[in-house]
Amino acid sequence: MLKAVACAIVITTVTIVAYFRGWLPVHSRGSAPAEKTSFTPPRITGNIPAATVGGFPVVTNTQSAAVKPEAKGGLGLFQLGDYEAAIPELVKDLEKNKVSSSLHAALATSFEKTGRTAEALAQWAKLADACPRAPERASALARVYMGSEGAVRVDAGMKLLRDHPESAESSSSVLAIADAADKNGRPLDGWEACSLAVNLGVGNEASLVTRCVNYADQLAFSAKDLAELGTVYVVKSGDLVVTIAKKHKVDQGVISRVNKIQNGMIRAGQRLKVLTTKASIEVSIKRVWLRLWYNGKLLARQYPVCTGNLEESPTPFGDFSVSTKLVNPEWTRAGQRAVPAEDPENPLGTRWMGFAEPGFTSYGIHGTRKPETIGKHESNGCVRMRNENVEELFDLAGAGTRISIHE
């Protein structure tokens, strides 16, 4: 009796488990049992070997993977690597959308892939002209530069540097572009490229600065007539250097310095070069140098300087402008007598270029009686220079010249 009960319990338990696990068919009350269905294995065609699971063959994905996706337009053909077929379609697409950088780039690349180099370069140039904000533009200009010769090469290189100065393409090409400019008789472009290289920190800085200074001497501070830098004035009877300077809205010092005029002596008929480029001054506290720039892009001079004691009397950071300009300045302090220029107690040296901004008029750029301090942080906050250097800067940077002081 007990054995029969135990067997019944086991059978019932197994049946319940089988029911909930789906091992048994489920019939609704009063419904007929489900019809038996036969399983027909899928037919395998062709020479594709059939894998088997549980003895039945299984279709693999081999055939569908071998079918290429349908190409849609020029970009579709390009993405499939069918460059010959893509070219005419991309040309048609560009007729409808002339400012699509992706279409220009795909067409240029297709020309490259099919050995049509000249057409590829022309297409990269079209991309650069038609799509000024395209992310591919710097690369396009670099390709035109690398693949061209002569003036076209320099034009593309300079456009790359001017429009995309921070790009990787500019950093890697800037020195070669400067050399190409020089080789093609365009030293002004070479000067600009070298100046950018200094700013980007590319190459040997000391040699690049020297190269920039040489450009300045040859192109700006010489009799060479370059419309981009200035103009030529023919002296008339009764002219004075000061009146010529006033007429051209420049300081007389720059006219005298560039034309090597001594004591204001000029003669009628004399041709004077008048620099009309905009000067600006940059000072680095950390690296203790002062740079003179023209038009914000041509490095003309770099001078070593002394700046303020970093803890007690730091030189202020910020943007300022030159106001008062004095030759052999007196040194004045609040509540004390003025110290004349020749007095050994006067620390200002031979020139003073004071800041214009309220709250900063006690600061300036000046000479020194202590040239041994140049390259250090020992001043009372002013920018201190060797006398011969500040005298040159005094002539080359007029009143109103902007000054940027940074770390």
CA of residue 383 relative to chain centroid, distance? 29
Among 27, 366, 377, 406, the active-site one is 366
- What are the tokens at 161? 């540097």
For residues 356 and 366, is the Cβ–Cβ distance under 8 A? no
Amino acid, res. 141: L
- What are the tokens at 89? 């379609």
Cβ contacts of 198 within 8 Å, gap of 6 or more:
205, 208, 209, 212, 299
Among 194, 212, 306, 382, the active-site one is 382
CB atoms within 10 A of CB 210: 13
CA of residue 120 relative to chain centroid, distance? 25
Helix (H, G, I), strand (E, B) or coil at 282: strand
Angle formed by the axes of helices 137-147 and 117-130, nearest 10°: 140
182/219 Cα distance (integer angstroms): 13
Instruction: Give the Å distances, CA to CA, from 390 to 175, 218, 296, 327, 387.
Output: 30, 21, 20, 11, 5
Pairing of strands 279-284, 289-294: antiparallel
**The dihedral sign for the CA sequence 24, 25, 26, 27:** negative
For residues 245 and 290, is the Cβ–Cβ distance under 8 A? no
Instruction: For residue 316, count CB atoms less than 10 angstroms from its CB and return exposed for 0-12, middle for 13-18, buried for 19 or more.
Output: middle
User: Has 7 been annotated as catalytic?
Assistant: no
Measured over all CA atoms, what is the biggest interatomic distance in the chain, rounded to whole angstroms? 145
For residues 92 and 106, is the Cβ–Cβ distance under 8 A? no
User: Has 104 been annotated as catalytic?
Assistant: no
Amino acid, res. 188: L
Cβ contacts of 170 within 8 Å, gap of 6 or more:
138, 160, 161, 164, 196, 200
For residues 320 and 357, is the Cβ–Cβ distance under 8 A? yes
Active site residues: 366, 382
